[in-house]
Amino acid sequence: METPLTPLEFARRARSLYGDRLAVVDGDLRLTYAAFFARTDRWSHVLASWGVRHGDRVVTIAPNTHGQLEQFYAVPQLGAVLVPLNYRLTADDFAYMIGHSGATIVCADADYLATCDSIRARCPKVTRWVALTGARDGFVDYETTLAAAPVDIPYPHIAESDLLTINYTSGTTSRPKGVMITHRNAWVNTVGTLLHHPMTPADHYLWTLPMFHANGWTFVWTVTAIGGVHVCLRKVEPAAVFELLAREAVTVLCCAPTVLIAIASAPAALRARAPRGVRVLTAGAPPAAATIELVEGELGWTVTHIYGLTETSPFITICEPRAEHAALLPAARARIKARQGVELVTSGELRVVDEEMADVPCDGETIGEIVVRGNVVMAGYYDDPAATAIAFAGGYFHTGDSAVVHADGYCEIRDRMKDVIISGGENVSSVEVEAALLRHPAVQEVAIVGRPHEKWGEAPHAFVVLKAGADATEADLRTFARAHLAHFKAPHGVTFVSELPKTATGKIQKFVLRGGLAAITRQ
């Protein structure tokens, strides 16, 4: 009586239970679950008629639209593999990933059709280029083709070990790697998410997180699993976010801390429209306690910090609330909420280890690397056995994140291993320095990177975005930092910028800032 663990099982259940309920909102378009799945079945039929079979790859390049969401069902139910690409990448990146994955079908939004045209000659295996919106010559019109197709499709047998998606990491020093996520990986992550962050059919989920990023943290399937409403959002802009929050009675959203800061820093007139009680999952970078305190205090939302990587489907830990946390003052509670927390029930084993793979003591001070193993860990990197072997050295997946473990067992990241600043032989956590500066009333965003120093070898340097209308000098911020940190951790310099470079998921691109520092140093 065993059945494969696959998110397609959530779709089967939703078809049965929620057919007449609202499933998707995308601008003026509103689809019930019955209408949504009729569309995915029709598109599956089209793909099958084009020769897409078990194991074949289909690429998407699109923002958070209903057309993008439909691919997460139409492609896998054929046993094919979805490859959702980061739409902010370059034409060269697209050409490499389409070619590396061996994709035969590319589905793109209107905004990316010109880019697709520019790489056609470099993608000889692609047999169809599909325009999800804005169809023109050279592209199959998604809506027209889908509407003309029947709903009957061949349902092949799918094993839980089959590939569901290939998600490319954003390579900064080398080619992006294709993370192989199985049906089992995604099913386990979805169930673990709902165990720790329960949802019901009454929930309306706002797509502030890109669907391409680790499959929208598997919320492309999680929302469907409980019969909730997917509220699509093409671009994260404060005005659009607050309009949808109010109009669609949004109850849940996910986002990186930088997006959370942007929402919390929106004009007061916009913030006043936001419903209270919204539940937020934040991940992608360690959130500052000050950000959590601001969002919970001013907006009346509940922020839960969760941690993981694309390679872990993505969730490994959650900062699980405990009864004793409720009695703490808001600032103290926010500091605990900023930790990465404890393993999800379903995620498997997490350890923080030294270079000899020995566990570090639970003292909140000794730094080690987070390593994990369990049912959410990827099958490996696609067509890259060497990188896979390195990542799984010693029988665990090596995250590259340095962390400490507190006496209560809660894990807290201190930095990416590559971002730790070694100043005069002392390790400086850029995350710790950023958290301190974010408590300055004039600071909206900050990123800390290491800069060469004649005496100390390396010293912290701050890139700072000030709040609108606020003022602060370099001396002000350095003095503030020295009052809240050990002096060797305080930044030796401050560069004021209008914005920080970020990925499509809101992660700050520190390698870009380091490049800027090199230019500053040469001047």
Query: Comparing 236-417 with 421-522, is the CATH topology the same?
Result: no
Was domain 421-522 assigned CATH 3.30.300.30?
yes
Q: What confidence category does residue 192 fall into, taking pLDDT thresholds of 50, 70 and 90?
A: very high
Q: So what's the pLDDT on residue 94?
A: 95
Which pLDDT score is estimated for 497?
94
User: What number is the average pLDDT over the span 292-306?
Assistant: 91
The pLDDT score that the predictor gives to residue 518 is 47
pLDDT at residue 369 greater than cutoff 70 = yes
Q: Decide if pLDDT at 209 tops 50.
A: yes
Alpha carbon separation from 382 to 38, 125, 172, 262, 397 (Å, rounded): 32, 17, 18, 35, 15
pLDDT at 225: 98
Q: Which CATH superfamily, name and number, covers 11-17+32-182?
A: ANL, N-terminal domain (3.40.50.12780)
pLDDT number for residue 519: 45
Average pLDDT over residues 27-46: 98
CB-based contacts of 110, cutoff 8 Å, min separation 6: 131, 132, 133, 134
Q: What is the distance between the alpha carbons of residues 345 and 318, in angstroms, rounded to a whole number?
A: 10
Helices and strands counted in the chain (H then E):
19, 26
Query: What average pLDDT does the structure give for the chain?
Result: 92
At 155 the pLDDT is 83
- Taking residues 421-446, report their average pLDDT: 84
Task: Reply yes or no on whether the pLDDT at 159 is more than 60.
Answer: yes
Q: Give the tens place of pLDDT for each residue, 39-93.
A: 999 999 999 999 999 999 999 999 999 999 999 999 999 999 999 999 988 899 9
Which residue ranges make up each domain of the chain?
A: 11-17+32-182, 236-417, 421-522
Distance (Å) of CA 435 to CA 96, 136, 339, 448, 489: 37, 49, 12, 10, 12
pLDDT, residue 232, reads 98
pLDDT at 521: 42
pLDDT for res 427: 65
Whether the per-residue pLDDT at 392 is higher than 80: the answer is yes
121 CB contacts (<8 Å, ≥6 apart)? Answer: none
3-class DSSP state of 169: coil
pLDDT single digits (tens) 446-496: 999 988 877 777 789 999 999 999 999 999 999 999 998 878 889 999 999
d(CA 330, CA 294): 10
pLDDT (mean) for 235-263: 92
Span 258-273, average pLDDT = 87
Q: What is the pLDDT of residue 186?
A: 98
Place 368 in a pLDDT band, splitting at 50, 70 and 90: very high
Phi, psi of 253 (to 5 degrees): -155, 160
CATH 3.40.50.12780 fits 236-417, yes or no: yes
- Computed from CA positions of residues 47, 214, 250, 241, in that sequence, does the dihedral angle turn out positive or negative? negative
Here the tokens at position 461 are 């340097």
Does the pLDDT of residue 7 top 60, yes or no? yes
List, in order, residues 6 or more apart from 174 with CB less than 8 Å away.
none
- Read off the pTM: 0.86
pLDDT band per the 50, 70, 90 thresholds, residue 388: very high
- pLDDT in the model for residue 414: 83
The band of 505, judged by pLDDT with boundaries at 50, 70 and 90, is low
Instruction: Provide the 10 A C-beta neighbour count for residue 469.
Output: 6
Of the pLDDT bands very low, low, confident and very high (cuts 50, 70, 90), residue 279 is very high
Check pLDDT > 60 for residue 523.
no
Confidence class for position 520, pLDDT limits 50, 70, 90:
very low
CA proximity to 318, closest of 254, 268, 379: 254
